[in-house]
Amino acid sequence: MTTQKMMAIPGIKAMTAPSLALEDMTLDQIKDTINDLARQGSLFQYQIGVMYNHVVSRKLAELAGYRTVQQYFSQHVKAISKSSLVNYGIVARSFSEDACTKYGMYRLRALVRYLEAINITAPVDPGLVFIDVPQDDGKVVKKVFSECSVDEVESATRAKKAPIPVRVPVPDQARLLFLEDSLFRNFDGVAQVRLTANNQEGQTFLTVQGVPMSEVTRLIQALQQGLDAQPSLAAK
Rounded Cα gap, residues 173 and 234, in angstroms: 8
208-231 tens-digit pLDDT = 999 999 999 999 998 998 888 765
Confidence at residue 6, expressed as pLDDT on a 0 to 100 scale:
38
- Give the residue-averaged pLDDT of 62-88: 94
7-16 tens-digit pLDDT = 444 334 434 3
Confidence at residue 136, expressed as pLDDT on a 0 to 100 scale:
85
The alpha-helical segments, DSSP class H, found in 40-125 are 45-58, 60-63, 69-76, 82-94, 97-103, 105-117
**Residue 191 CB neighbours (<10 A):** 16
Nearest to 155 by CA among 204, 110, 221: 110
Confidence at residue 235, expressed as pLDDT on a 0 to 100 scale:
40
SS3 state at 142: strand
- Residue 3 pLDDT greater than 70, yes or no: no
Confidence at residue 233, expressed as pLDDT on a 0 to 100 scale:
42
More confident residue, 203 or 211: 211
Confidence at residue 116, expressed as pLDDT on a 0 to 100 scale:
94
pTM over 0.75: no
Confidence at residue 111, expressed as pLDDT on a 0 to 100 scale:
97
**60, 174, 203 from 220: Cα distances, Å:** 64, 19, 22
What DSSP element (H or E) covers 200? strand 194-200
* Residues near 125 by beta carbon (within 8 Å), at least 6 away in sequence: 99
Exposure letters 192-231 (e unless 16+ CB within 10 A, then b): ebebeeeeeeeebeeeeeebeeebeebbeebbebbeebee
- Residue 162 pLDDT greater than 90, yes or no: no
